[in-house]
Amino acid sequence: MTLSRDVLARLVPFLRYVVAAQQAECPIAPEGETEPLGWWLRWRVDKKHLTVLTALPVGVRSDDRQEVLLSVALLPGVQRVDCKGKSSPYLVADLSVDPSDLSDLADWLRRWHVGVEAQDW
């Protein structure tokens, strides 16, 4: 549970940025890489998909990997999620860039933020 929560916490700021950019009708860069707060994230955008890649900890157990996959797969707009690699896996998620999916994602982000504050994470 802790690993999946940490991975979602990594993705949330970037997903907020994506949602805000869509709401402001300001497209994000077609691809990029960022390393805020000491974690690495890479993205690529085409007409219908936003592909996000981030590293998971080295030696992550299969159970933890499955939990992370399920947590990310439940995000609104996620069409595919996968882990690549065995010793240092990368989490790959494809999200729809459909505005209605991003609106649902914005609602999810608000609920997630409220839940985080309530849990005092």
pLDDT above 80 for 38:
no
How many domains does the chain fold into? Answer: 1
Residue 32: pLDDT band by 50, 70, 90 thresholds? very high
Closest alpha carbon to 1 in 64, 95, 86: 64
1 band by pLDDT with thresholds 50, 70 and 90:
low
According to the model, what pLDDT value does residue 44 have? 95
- Kindly tell me if the per-residue pLDDT of 121 is higher than 60: no
Do 50 and 97 meet the contact criterion of CB atoms below 8 Å apart?
A: yes
pLDDT at 117: 77
- Please give the backbone phi and psi of residue 58, each rounded to the nearest 5 degrees, phi first: -65, 140
Instruction: Tell whether the model's pLDDT for residue 18 goes beyond 60.
Output: yes
Of 18, 11, 45, 15, nearest in space to 30 by CA: 45
The whole-model pTM stands at: 0.85
Angle, nearest 10°, between helix axes 99-119 and 2-23? 130
* pLDDT, position 5: 87
Higher pLDDT, 85 or 22: 22
What's the rounded mean pLDDT across residues 98-112?
91
Structure token pair of residue 20: 């805000």
Q: How many CB atoms lie within 10 A of CB 78?
A: 17
User: Which pLDDT band holds residue 37 (cuts at 50, 70, 90)?
Assistant: low
Domain range for 91: 2-119
At residue 56, does pLDDT exceed 90?
no
Q: Give the CATH number for residue 96.
A: 3.30.1460
